Amino acid sequence: NLLHFKMLEIVDANGELVRTRIPRKDLSDFQEKILNSEAYKTLYHKSWNQDSIADYINKGLIDKGIMDSDSVSRALFIINVVYWHKQKLDYSKVVFFIDNRAWTDLYKEYAESYKIELLSVGTVLLKFSDLRKIVRKIPWVYKIVKNVKYRNTRQKYDFQNIDKNKLYIDGRGDINLENNGYHSDFFWQLNSNFPSQNILCKHYSDEEKEYFKQHGLYSIGEGVYSDRSDSRKYIKPKLNYSYHFRKEFKVVKEILASYDLDRLNWASLFKKYGVKIFLTWYKYSNDHIVWSDAIGDNEGIAVVWQMAFDGFINAECMVKSDIVFSFSKFSDEIDKKLGSKSKYNVIVGYPKDYASSLVRDKANKLREKLKANGAKKIVFVIDENSNDDSRWHTGHEIQRENYSYILEKVLEVPWLGVVFKPKTSKTLQNRLGPVADLLKKAEATGRCYIYKDSGRHTTSTPPILAGLSADICIHGHLCSGTAALECALEGLPTLLIDREGAPYSKLYDLPEGRVIFKDWPSTIEALMEHFSTPEGIAGFGDWSSVIDDLDPFRDGKAANRMGTYLQWLIEGFENNLDREVIMSNAAERYKKQWGKDKVINHN
């Protein structure tokens, strides 16, 4: 029989959601035990000492999240689920069978801490992920499959400046080259003097290819760009074989095969198109580590920019890069605790803070429209995405609460209005289920509005647009508070509802009952009290006690700082300087302009 549970039910004795605790603590502890294990020491090979190979392996050993059935996270989580059932059913002894996997002895030790006996059993099921691994083991097959899949014809555009030093951008799918405040992968370029002809990006459709071409950006299709003439600038990493540690050997061998394949392919792409800077936001797997080594093979520089607010340490966020753009010193301290490695951590502030001035007029127009229909007070509700399976994700139910409670209040109170900005608008109606009818009724009053503009994956509307339309902002989650931070940085009263359980977040420095709440009913009650009080509740939604720690600038110039810094790097390459000299010069220029404490040198 299947174990029946919901992720939100699996909470530990400290009130922390286990799904949150695992990347915050358990994964790092488990990784440390792997690195100290006899198996790891036996497999270790001196070739791992090159560049970032060891870091790539070490992060790869605990990569992938709870959604992935083969991950360490999933195994640790399931053990906690079994423990939850053990307590619920008051069993004194529990035996749990798990598929035979690498480092089984460490899983057994982890299970024993919950008084669970773990037994491993063999499995012969072939999964899609296994087929993918097989394809990636044979480089020429992988190249054919990849290029056929994306119909990569490698068409070239007749651009001038094609031979210029390039910055390759690994974006989030926000294809927007208009500086209108909406999400854009190119926000840093749109708000600085970084030359667009120095950018290289990928298109994933004919429409995107044409859009980039019209705007003078050089784009290439997804695919593999390596040639037989390309050679490694490193010694292909190896590992020692051990019959006793066969499972562990297989895992590490697959990690090294991926490293070698990706480094060679990406280095070839960078060489082919003259890429000198690699810019990405995606630090949540070990991919960015091999990309960093690949750009190094072209004497280039790897740059990672902080996209989301991290309120507590999270093993998934460990980063290895030449340069990291961070929100604040607090963000750098989080990175240090994670064991992240960068040569320069550049504090730029919250990178999307430029948007408010660009969307304010549009926000005011919506606000006036809602007021014209009777809304005297307006609330902006921030939600996250949801998944059908509530065992591995928060599920649709908790997201439906983000809509149902406030919608019912809007229908009850004729002077109350609400604005929504779903994280993923494309699937909203399906995810809302029966609450969709409630939403329609509220929309019919003229006091309810949903921002639905969508990018390739997520809603392209910035949270601040909806926030400026309202009097109070409410984020239905505390463990993922980036959208709330965006509003709070603008000085908008912003509330957080910690329904999942994230007691170790920096955001718990904020006052409970004024900013932090535990559920929607208590939040609604406080909200209505605030609105009915002539001067409002003192300190309601006020983040001033922590705001300096989260962004020391708050001047709307973070994107400009990013773009300008990247421009300095490109200028260094155009002057034929060494990469180390380029980075050092840029750091000194930034310190002189923005303060010595705004660049943290980790060399």
Is pLDDT of 491 > 80? Answer: yes
pLDDT digits (tens, 9 = 90+) for 551-588: 999 999 999 999 999 999 999 999 999 999 999 999 99
Mean per-residue pLDDT, 124-148? 65
Give the Cα separation of 119 and 583 in Å (integer): 52
Mean pLDDT of 175-201: 96
Residue 110 and residue 76 in contact, taking contact as beta carbons nearer than 8 Å: yes
Judge residue 261's burial from the number of C-beta atoms within 10 Å of its C-beta, 0-12 exposed, 13-18 middle, 19 or more buried.
buried
**Residues 349-399: pLDDT tens digits?**
999 999 999 999 999 999 999 999 999 999 999 887 777 788 888 778 888
Sequence-distant (6+) residues with CB within 8 A of 528 are: 409, 413
Average pLDDT over residues 276-303: 98
DSSP E strands, 15-146: 94-99, 116-121
- Residue of 343, 236, 310, 244 lying closest to 582 (CA atoms): 343
Q: Is the pLDDT of residue 133 over 90?
A: no
Q: Is the pLDDT of residue 510 over 90?
A: yes
pLDDT tens, residue by residue, 318-348: 999 999 999 999 999 999 999 999 999 999 9
Residue by residue, what is the 3-state secondary structure of 473-504? Answer: EEECCCCCCHHHHHHHHCCCCEEEECCCCCCC
For helices 395-412 and 435-444, the axis angle rounded to 10 degrees is 30
The C-alpha angle 81, 82, 84, rounded to 5 degrees, equals 65
What confidence score (pLDDT) does residue 128 get? 55
- For 152, the token pair is 């990569």
Neighbour-count burial of 492, counting CB atoms closer than 10 A to its CB (0-12 exposed, 13-18 middle, 19+ buried) = buried
Residue ranges of the alpha helices (H) in 90-220? Answer: 104-112, 128-136, 139-149, 187-190, 206-214
Average pLDDT, stretch 182-196? 97
Return the bridge partners of 166, or none.
Answer: 275
pLDDT at 456: 67
Neighbours of 137 (CB within 10 A): 14
Q: What is the pLDDT of residue 130?
A: 63
**Where is average pLDDT lowest: 115-129, 227-241, 324-338, 530-544?**
115-129
**In the chain, what is the greatest distance between 2 CA atoms, to the nearest angstrom?**
75
- The predicted pLDDT at position 454 comes to 66
At residue 225 the predicted structure's pLDDT band, cuts being 50, 70 and 90, is confident
Q: What's the pLDDT tens digit per position in 441-483?
A: 999 999 999 987 766 667 788 999 999 999 999 998 888 889 9
Tokens 């019209």 found at: 214
Per-residue model confidence (pLDDT) at position 425:
72
**Amino acid identity of 50?**
Q
Does position 137 have pLDDT exceeding 80, yes or no? no
For range 127-156, the mean pLDDT:
64
pLDDT value at position 158?
44
Position 404 pLDDT exceeds 90: yes
CA 57 to chain CA centroid, Å, is: 20
